């Protein structure tokens, strides 16, 4: 997807504050953080939303969760707690249509979130 913001980040056309990379994923700091720790975890493969994931993407989905766990530990928020969020489509709050997980922590989270 040549007009996708996150694909441009994956291909290196747009810089980011990258903190993790694997064969399937990259993770970087959000440019407009909502908490002291706000990391975006994105697949290198373009998938528009959670609704577009296929059976073949199961490994990718699992890797996203394990990546969040590793980053939470490296950011020293694994004990105090953190939130993972995948917004899906307009009513779900998705603004970039390339599936991504927010890892948010470093402060007390309220519920309900929105």
CATH of the domain at 74: 3.30.428.10
The per-residue pLDDT for range 81-92, each reduced to its tens digit, is: 999 999 999 999
Residue 111, in any domain of the structure: no
Q: What are phi and psi of 12, to 5 degrees?
A: 85, 10
**Host domain of residue 59:** 5-105
Residue 19, in any domain of the structure: yes
Q: Residue 39 and residue 19: Cα distance in Å, rounded?
A: 9
Residue 60, in any domain of the structure: yes
Give the chain's domain count.
1
pLDDT at 114 over 80: no
The whole-number pLDDT of residue 37 equals 98
* pLDDT confidence tier of residue 8, bands split at 50, 70 and 90: very high
The per-residue pLDDT for range 48-83, each reduced to its tens digit, is: 999 999 999 999 999 999 999 999 999 999 999 999
Q: Which residues are catalytic?
A: 100
The model's pTM: 0.94
Q: Residue 64 and residue 99: Cα distance in Å, rounded?
A: 11
């Amino acid at each position: 997807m040549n007009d996708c913001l996150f694909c441009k980040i994956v291909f290196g056309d747009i810089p980011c504050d990258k903190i993790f990379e694997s064969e399937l994923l990259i993770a970087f700091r959000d440019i407009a953080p909502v908490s002291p720790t706000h990391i975006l975890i994105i697949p290198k493969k373009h998938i528009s939303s959670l609704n577009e994931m296929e059976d073949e993407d199961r490994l990718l989905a699992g890797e996203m969760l394990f990546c969040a766990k590793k980053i939470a530990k490296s950011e020293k928020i694994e004990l105090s707690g953190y939130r993972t969020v995948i917004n899906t489509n307009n009513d779900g709050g998705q603004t970039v249509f390339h599936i991504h997980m927010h890892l948010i922590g470093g402060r007390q989270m309220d519920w309900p979130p929105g």
